[in-house]
Structure 1
């Protein structure tokens, strides 16, 4: 999933929760029709009924790109449309004063369960992303770091593909906080992560490793490519012109980066340490530079 802010994720979940509520209200109305034999809503008898219920109207006009572009969103739409096909069969039988068989009811219930499963799976995935995300910068937090790196290490071992790590630390970041305040420091961190995300690929990962320290994981990246990407990130960070909210000051920062490969012959922790040691050598050699382990 592409990177999104915590606020965007929370908005998507809130929007999804409202859609779930609308669907459950529709389902209660359906039960009332089936049990009490009251007239069905004309829209529910139409071939395109899935587009006219409140859930369907929401689905067709979803405002949050995070939901609209999510792969599971398409599956949810298919499940919702299929559920309405079976619902329409039941409602038409009621309208024609005909009996509903247990088989027909089971078909509808199975389709309903499938739709509910798709909804909850999507909601659960969004919730998991929030839990694994740093609330300030939108980078991944350290809770999911080691499991992900071990998975990438196993892939590297099985397929023989490269995976590069880069440890990035903002130079003299304490001076930013001391001189301009922590809100300005927060703005620098947020801007820097956005800067890095613009360079990295969607499947690369940025982890907030410490206060102003970030670990970047780049699957399928050779040592030469990793060095090149790290140099681009180093230059891009230095080129930032960051203006904190409510301030006339323009802040500039630099970063030191250490690059190492995720080596299957050693522990994940050892590979992280190698990138970290390379980064500290960059600090020692004058900062605002890239140093490789290899």
Structure 2
């Protein structure tokens, strides 16, 4: 099974798109290895072949192909995921149950229906945890913009409605931010679309360095982005936007099509998710505030309501 390099969790999205795809591929391979182990176990139990010595060890869960990967340093890049932890627990219990079945067979003692049902239950739990872990990462990969690695609009409304429900119940404030790169068409026209792509990638990276790990940035369209900031009121969001605005303006983006580093600015509009209006209406408020920033001279933040 191949492994990806472990990276420090230094920003709100620690894995690149390529790394996410690699994680999913590794989990697919782990699921396949587990299925092969199960088929081998059934063959031993049905035909009474000698069991694998490793399957009779008290720590058998550490010796199968999946167990070796799970316990390695190379797998620790996802070690904090609750589904990963739950999978390890389920996997150990399954091997413990399988060991009892193999011992019964080796001793010539019939396996009772209760023992077999217990094993099947542990097996089902492993499969469930496998799929849960895989779903975590495949969903993130599916909803990522392939260029900027911001989230796409595919899951945006669902996630914003979840935040709006918390706002409606008085659980939290939540701010929406719409920002758009100023005069971005000039970059594409003068330096080419590859340069424009480089600007978009660098800009999203700069913004993520300002945001918290649970803030979300969506590519709303072209050079326009929407940010959801839970547990943040309008005043706080305005201050964060000033930091993002300065970070974008401070970029010096090197590109082969330009002798001098590329520089861009962005205009920001802020609005609150509110129980008094729909999510779409709140987005429209943030959009309107952004256009006020554009009309006021660009490279600035306008806080709406």
The answer, yes or no, to whether TM exceeds 0.5 is yes
Which residue of structure 2 aligns with residue 202 of structure 1?
Answer: 213
SS in 1 for 2:252: coil
- Aligned twin of 1:136: 147
SS in 2 for 1:287: coil
- In the other structure, the counterpart of 2:281 is 270
Cα displacement string for residues 205-232 of structure 1 (whole angstroms, at most 9, x for unaligned residues): 1011110000001011011111110101
- State how far apart, in whole Å, the 2-side matches of 1:204 and 1:88 are: 46
Q: 2:51 maps to what in 1?
A: 40
Q: Report if the CA contact (8 A) 2:191-2:257 is conserved.
A: no
TM-score, with normalisation over the residues of structure 1? 0.94
Aligned pairs for 1:19-34 within 5 A: 19-34=30-45
Q: 1:68-87: per-residue Cα shift (whole Å, max 9, x none)? A: 33221000100100000001
CA distance in 2, matches of 1:18, 1:149: 34
Counterpart secondary structure, 1:291: strand
SS at match of 1:258: strand
Give the secondary-structure state (helix, strand or coil) at the position aligned to 1:257: strand
Is 1:72 equivalent to 2:83 in the alignment? yes
Paired residue secondary structure (2:262):
coil
Please list, as runs of the form range in 1=range in 2, the aligned pairs for 1:83-98 lying within 5 A after superposition: 83-98=94-109
Alignment RMSD? 1.8
Q: Where does 1:2-13 land on structure 2 (aligned, <5 Å)?
A: 2-3=12-13, 4-13=15-24
Alpha-carbon spacing, 1:65–1:253, altered in 2? closer, same or farther (3 Å): farther
Task: Give the secondary-structure state (helix, strand or coil) at the position aligned to 1:209.
Answer: strand
Q: C-alpha displacement at 1:263, in angstroms?
A: 1.6
Unaligned segments of structure 2, at least 5 residues: 1-10
Question: What TM-score do you get using the length of structure 2 for normalisation?
Answer: 0.91
Q: Within the alignment, does 1:290 sit opposite 2:301 as a pair?
A: yes
Other structure's SS at 1:217 match: strand
Runs of 4+ in 1 over 4 A off after TM superposition: 245-249
Work out which of the residue numbers 230, 239, 257 in structure 1 matches 2:241.
230
1:128-277 aligned within 5 A: 128-244=139-255, 249-277=260-288
Corresponding pairs, count = 294
Asked whether the equivalents of residues 168 and 214 of structure 1 are also in contact (C-alpha less than 8 Å), the reply is yes
CA distance in 2, matches of 1:293, 1:228: 13
Q: In the alignment, which residue of structure 2 is the partner of 1:101?
A: 112
Cα distance in 2 between the residues matched to 1:32 and 1:65? 33
Over 3 Å counting, the alpha-carbon distance change for 1:181 and 1:246 in structure 2 is closer
Is residue 12–residue 64 contact of structure 1 (8 Å, CA) maintained in 2? Answer: no
